[in-house]
Structure 1
Amino acid sequence: MPSKGVQAFTYIGVPNVSIELSVPKQSITRRDQGFWSGSLEVESRNIDSFFNKKGRFTFKVFHHGKQITEQWIDVNAITGNASGGTMESIADTPSIFHHDFIISYGLYEAGPGHEPLPNQHQCYITVTRNYSKWVTNLAPPGSEEEKKPFHRLVLPSAHDVGMNSMESSAALLRKVGGAAVATLLKRTDNTFCRVVDKLSGYPIELIAPNIIYSLSITQKDSLESMLRIGARYFEFRPARLHNSIRSRGALPDKLYFMHSAIPGMGYDTFLQGVIKFLRANRDEIIVVQLRWDGVPSDCAHPSSEEKKQYIENAIRDHAGGEINVGNLDDMKHRTIAELRRDKKRLLMLDSVNTLSTYTDDGNATINGQSIVDAFPRVLDDRGAQRRAGFVLIQCQATATNIQKALLHSIKDAGVTTSVLLATKGVCDHKTLPWCRDNVVDKCELGKTVVLMNDWLDGATVDVAAGLSRRRLAK
């Protein structure tokens, strides 16, 4: 009988929590802390209706037996499609903040399944403690831990923080149309260009919004939520709109986060959000690195004076005299206590050399194994670690570099079919346990370590905070 599978990935990081997963006539309950993955099958024979072969996949989170949330989507056992419910769109799956813990989750719709993409729908769920003040809690003011160097910390990071919504791209589409956006992608993204050549006659401009969703959106929570989940390091690529559309008035003429030539969050909005969070959490410290990887020259990069002006305006207008800006030297040589004393709780870096685990080939994966294989090859080079400004461990897959996967993602583009989301659960369940078990031994104690991920979640932060605790104890 026809059926469709749902592969679930869970992480529980707090006691007295359970996650119940169910499809018609099958359910699984997870109570143990840590990582778990398993499959459920929506079987047409288990659906009573003769004509309607949709079965509901549901997950519920309980705390001390009390239900905290229920999320669901209907899965057609015959066609494989998933629709309706609370997880029909990436934008409809924000993290849930409940007292002392956070629930992060997401769903990838596999549809009928196309090689090399997963054949089963993918759902990830993490339940972890509230990490809004995790640096404060690990190194409280006046504690011995606070006297340790800041570089002992392992900082969780939201990869491509500025691509967390369609707000800027939607405004662009309304003004210049999908054809213009498709043209921008063809001009600036070689992988996309090669795939588009294989889609001769396909109306790319008609599905431009879904293409952007599938290829560029890497986060789904607001900046405030990412900070509350626990992100403490961000890379931001500020640049102006592409020259071909800059004068057309689609968006204000200012600096935006750029994913290739696709604009995301405004740089001023980002700085304001970070400073607002720091004022509300007076012992937290955040690192921001500016860089321009992959941003085409037709998207004007800011001058040194313009970069200086943006940060000075943000501090003047929003810091209230409570925050000073630090730099790489502060990150490398100051203790946590010294940074707090001098109010240097926003450390701004600019194109600092890093030792990164990322490679185009290694991160171009569906199952994450090549990412894990690259970790020891990169990190075993202690000389390279010492020469670098800091160590950047990138857990996210870049499946958009797999031409066949990208082709299917574009043809079937939709708000739950992101090729980037397809890899989230399976990669995290390999990369994060490896980091948990190896980073303390593999990474220099005298270098800050960053743990970066798409779709920032509690498991990434829980692992980073645990590593920080162990490094502070040395």
Structure 2
Amino acid sequence: MPSKGVHVFTYIAVQGISIEISVPKQTRTIDQVNQFWNGALEVETRNIDSFFNKSGRFTFKVFKNKTNLVTEQWIEVNAITGNASGGTMDTIAQTPAILKDNIIITYGFYEAGPGHDLLPSRHQCYIAITPNYADWMGKLVPPNSPLESKPFRRFVLPSAHDVGMNSMQSSEAVLKKIGGAIVSTMVHDNKLMSEITDAVSGPAIALIAPNIIHSLAITQKDSLFDMLAIGARYFEFRPAHCHKAIIPSKALPDRLYFQHSAIPGMAYEVFLKDVVSFLVARPTEIVVVQLRWDGVPGECARPSDQEQREYLDTALKTANGALLAGNIDDLRNKSIGQLRKEKKRLIMLVNVDSLSTYTDEGNASLNGDSIVAAFPKVLPNEQVCRGRNFVNIQCQATAANIPKAIVYSVLEAGTTTSCILATKGICDSKTLPWVRDNALRTCGSETLVVVMNDFLDGATVDVGVQLSRQRLGK
């Protein structure tokens, strides 16, 4: 009988929490703590009583102490066509982190449709439940405790990859003003655009421009405030002015924006303002920001040193002296207590070298195997990390570098079909256990470590927090 599968990935880091997942006439409960669990359920036509409507509901419920319902999320899955729609997970934008009862639930849903080529044939759902980590540094290293004398570089910092691409707001403003024809300029990748134009006519590209941008560039779905509450403490930001072909339209104010190629995302001044506001409200926390311009075309003017200082000074003024900017020397040489005492809890870096696990070939994966295979090659032992500014372990898969995956996402894109989202659960179920089990051995405890991921989730953060605890105990 026809059926459609849903592959579910879970991680629980809070005692007394359980997750109930269900489809018609099939229910499973997961309550193991600190384990990466995954399994598949089948929406089967034989289990759907209606003769004409063969859609069945996939649901997950989160319970506290077995009986207290924290949240319930669901979507309708057609067992015959494979389509998923309706409910509370119908769009990526409908799945923000849930902050409730001092826990955080991060989750996402990918609609596989009938399945194409390399992409998953089952729908994908990931769920992670962790404590509210808005103050995780303060709880791990309380003020005036002996641990404050430990070097800041002992921390393992969770990171949201491409933090500025958490919404379509800026891109939609450009498309509305100029039209979809500008998408080829924004993508700035002739090879990729040729793959798309081979499959669809030029005029039609303008009609699906939002799908192209969404599939290529949207890597986060939570607000910056929520990412910080989830536990992110390291961000890479690529601030630049919009492409010179966009500026004359005045679709956006001529300011600095996060640029993904030439696709504009979060405004830099908003990013800085929100980070400063968070740090002022959370006096034990420390955030590292690295400015870089990888992949940003020359037509997007980069800020001068003076312009960078002006943006930063404007943001810091709102702290009324409660916060100062640190630098790479502070990151490498000062203790946690020193940084707090000196108010240098916003460490600003510009094009600082690091040891990164990322490669175009290795991270261009749909199942995470090549990413995990690269980890021990880049990080064979702690000797290779010594003397480095920091180590960046990049867990995110760049499915956007696989043309076939992009073409499907673009041509048949819906509100839950991002090929970037398609890789999330399966890759995390392999990469994060490796990081948890090997980072202490391969990176040692004397070099700052960053763990970076798309669609920042609680499992990524919890791995970073637990590794920080171990390294601080050394």
1:448-463 correspondence runs (5 A): 448-463=448-463
1:71/1:287 Cα in 2 relative to 1: closer, same or farther (>3 Å)?
same
Describe the SS at the equivalent of 2:361.
coil
Report the residue type matching 1:237 in the other structure: R
Q: Which residue of 2 aligns with 1:144?
A: 146
1:235 correspondence with 2:241: no
Describe the SS at the equivalent of 1:18.
strand
1:117 correspondence with 2:127: no
Q: CA deviation at 1:449?
A: 0.2
Distance in 2, Cα, partners of 1:173 & 1:268: 22
Q: Which residue of 2 aligns with 1:178?
A: 180
Q: Which residue of 2 aligns with 1:323?
A: 323
Q: Which residue of 1 aligns with 2:310?
A: 309
Q: CA deviation at 1:113?
A: 0.2
Aligned 8 A contact 1:238 1:257 in 2: yes
1:295/1:194 Cα in 2 relative to 1: closer, same or farther (>3 Å)?
same
Report the residue type matching 1:4 in the other structure: K
Point out 4+ residue stretches in structure 1 off by more than 6 angstroms.
none
Q: CA deviation at 1:50?
A: 1.0
Q: CA deviation at 1:403?
A: 1.4
Instruction: Name the stretch that deviates more: 334-343 or 380-389.
Output: 380-389
Describe the SS at the equivalent of 2:18.
strand
Q: Which residue of 1 aligns with 2:86?
A: 84
Q: CA deviation at 1:383?
A: 5.2
Identity within the alignment, %: 61
Aligned 8 A contact 1:130 1:228 in 2: yes
Q: Which residue of 2 aligns with 1:402?
A: 402
Q: CA deviation at 1:381?
A: 5.9
Report the residue type matching 1:380 in the other structure: P
Q: CA deviation at 1:99?
A: 2.2
1:380-395 correspondence runs (5 A): 380=380, 382=382, 384-395=384-395
Q: Which residue of 2 aligns with 1:442?
A: 442
1:2 correspondence with 2:12: no
Q: Which residue of 2 aligns with 1:259?
A: 260
Aligned 8 A contact 2:234 2:288 in 1: yes
Number of matched pairs: 471
Report the residue type matching 1:194 in the other structure: S
Q: CA deviation at 1:372?
A: 0.6
Deviations 1:436-464 (A, max 9, x none): 11111100322100000000011101000
Deviations 1:194-223 (A, max 9, x none): 322322426111111122222110000000
Q: CA deviation at 1:45?
A: 1.1
Distance in 2, Cα, partners of 1:30 & 1:57: 15
Deviations 1:139-186 (A, max 9, x none): 10111111100000000000000000111111111111111123432x
Distance in 1, Cα, partners of 2:255 & 2:341: 34
Segments of 5+ residues of structure 2 without an aligned counterpart are: none
Distance in 2, Cα, partners of 1:326 & 1:75: 50
Aligned 8 A contact 2:381 2:442 in 1: no
The TM-score with structure 1 as length reference comes to 0.98
The TM-score with structure 2 as length reference comes to 0.98
Q: Which residue of 1 aligns with 2:359?
A: 359
Instruction: Name the stretch that deviates more: 320-329 or 410-419.
Output: 410-419
Describe the SS at the equivalent of 2:107.
strand
Distance in 1, Cα, partners of 2:191 & 2:307: 32
When the two chains are superposed, the root-mean-square deviation of aligned CA atoms in Å is: 1.1
Report the residue type matching 1:219 in the other structure: Q
Deviations 1:293-320 (A, max 9, x none): 010000111111111111111112x111
Distance in 1, Cα, partners of 2:341 & 2:465: 22
Aligned 8 A contact 1:191 1:401 in 2: no
Distance in 1, Cα, partners of 2:464 & 2:374: 19
Q: Which residue of 1 aligns with 2:343?
A: 343
Report the residue type matching 1:255 in the other structure: L
Instruction: Name the stretch that deviates more: 380-389 or 239-248.
Output: 380-389
Report the residue type matching 1:375 in the other structure: F
Q: Which residue of 1 aligns with 2:23?
A: 23
Describe the SS at the equivalent of 1:295.
coil
Distance in 2, Cα, partners of 1:190 & 1:14: 47
Report the residue type matching 2:375 in the other structure: F
Segments of 5+ residues of structure 1 without an aligned counterpart are: none
Report the residue type matching 2:148 in the other structure: E
